[in-house]
Amino acid sequence: AWTPGNIIEDAIAAVRRQVGDGKVLLGLSGGVDSSVVAALLHKAIGDQLTCVFVDNGLLRHQEGDQVMQVFARNLGVKVIRVDAEARFLDALRGVADPEAKRKIIGGLFIDVFDEQAARIEGVDFLAQGTIYPDVIESAGSKTGKAHVIKSHHNVGGLPEHMKLKLVEPLRELFKDEVRAIGLELGLPAEMVQRHPFPGPGLGVRILGEVTKAAADTLRLADHIFIEELRRAGWYERTSQAFAVYLPVKSVGVTGDGRRYEPVVALRAVETVDFMTARWAHLPYELLDLCSRRIINEVPGLSRVVYDVSGKPPATIEWE
């Protein structure tokens, strides 16, 4: 029978066969797939694994610290944390087009990762958190079957000149199996059950030009929204939920007088395959609580709105 325990045992045996005493490099993103690969490879080959975690300044609230806490401190995985916020923000200055932002973020990620990889002696393998649906999707796009609307760098980000062999222990697994083995490997449920987060991160949730101030503001608003969803039991009932920073100013009024500040939109969807989605019918009381908390606790926001658009016609992300 296929139990998480069996899957792990088979995967560990296969990794050990493939890797021998070679060195493996993994780009750890904090997402479910790369996290499970890290835990699995650590169990299979211990110190032969080195992870590189690139903080691009476009991650969720305290995401970098959580990754270091879980992997470096709790599990004892070798993780190199790269603080690349300034480089990403510099590269994004003045850029407003969504696809241009994606290209810059994806390209710079590869550069930064590549630089780190070059510093490690004798790496033989590159591990990736490719799962079965990624395999199908990229096979489809090569033959023109899948309709690729947005570029992303989850699959095939291997720098050409590195000549590393790929280790992809999740290649035959579906998402629910990946989550199950993640739990079995001792990763926190919160990490394993997390909603997906796009590679370009807040870079495509800050509409138009990305600034540090907008990223800091959005991170806080998003964190409050997610915290309240969890508290109300709605996090598990939604497939993806997040805040979006709208660079339009709206008038507000507080005790001290009139303000003229940007708006935040909340988005929560229910979906099975992310190809179509229904906007989540969150209770008004919950939306009310999120709105009050965000406006009271996050400086520089005047207004909160809720996105009631399905996919199609709207995409899940705003960019």
Question: Which residues are annotated as part of the binding site?
Answer: 29-35
SS3 assignment, position 142:
helix
Size of the site for ligand XMP (CB under 6 A): 15
Binding mask 212-241 for ligand XMP (x = CB under 6 A): ----------------------------x-
Question: Should residue 311 be labelled a site residue for ligand XMP when binding is judged by CB under 6 A?
Answer: yes
Instruction: Determine contact, residues 246/264, Cβ cutoff 8 Å.
Output: yes
Is the CB of 3 or the CB of 276 nearer to ligand XMP?
Answer: 276
Question: Should residue 200 be labelled a site residue for ligand XMP when binding is judged by CB under 6 A?
Answer: yes
Report in angstroms how near the CB of residue 58 gets to ligand XMP at its nearest.
12
The annotated binding site for ATP is made up of: 29-35
Report in angstroms how near the CB of residue 294 gets to ligand XMP at its nearest.
21
Q: State the DSSP code for 31.
A: S
Report in angstroms how near the CB of residue 137 gets to ligand XMP at its nearest.
11
Q: Which residues pair with 81 in a beta bridge?
A: 53
Q: What are phi and psi of 205, to 5 degrees?
A: -110, -5
Is the CB of 15 or the CB of 200 nearer to ligand XMP?
Answer: 200
Whether the ω angle into residue 313 lies within 30 degrees of 0, i.e. cis, is yes
Which one of the spans 50-58, 78-86, 191-199, 278-286 is the region binding ligand XMP (CB under 6 A)? 191-199
Q: State the DSSP code for 216.
A: H
Is the CB of 42 or the CB of 195 nearer to ligand XMP?
Answer: 195
User: Which of 267, 255, 258 lies closest to 305 in space, CA to CA?
Assistant: 267
Which one of the spans 3-11, 57-65, 74-82, 196-204 is the region binding ligand XMP (CB under 6 A)? 196-204
Helix runs in 269-315, H state only: 284-297
List binders of ligand XMP among 17-46 (CB under 6 A).
none
User: Which of 209, 191, 204 lies closest to 267 in space, CA to CA?
Assistant: 204
Report in angstroms how near the CB of residue 154 gets to ligand XMP at its nearest.
5
Separation of alpha carbons 263 and 271, rounded Å: 26
Separation of alpha carbons 234 and 305, rounded Å: 18
Give the residue, chosen from 150, 171, 175, 293, that forms a contact with ligand XMP under the rule CB under 6 A.
Answer: 150
Give the residue, chosen from 198, 241, 268, 282, that forms a contact with ligand XMP under the rule CB under 6 A.
Answer: 198
Taking residue 253's Cβ as centre, other Cβ atoms within 10 Å add up to: 9
Cα Rg of the chain, angstroms: 20
Question: Should residue 316 be labelled a site residue for ligand XMP when binding is judged by CB under 6 A?
Answer: yes
How far does CA 281 lie from the centroid of its chain? 24
Report in angstroms how near the CB of residue 226 gets to ligand XMP at its nearest.
14
Taking residue 22's Cβ as centre, other Cβ atoms within 10 Å add up to: 15
Helix runs in 73-210, H state only: 85-92, 98-119, 132-142, 175-184, 189-192
Question: Should residue 196 be labelled a site residue for ligand XMP when binding is judged by CB under 6 A?
Answer: yes
Binding mask 93-112 for ligand XMP (x = CB under 6 A): ---------x----------
Question: Should residue 274 be labelled a site residue for ligand XMP when binding is judged by CB under 6 A?
Answer: yes
Binding site for ligand XMP (CB under 6 A): 102, 149-150, 152, 154, 196, 198-200, 240, 274, 311, 315-317
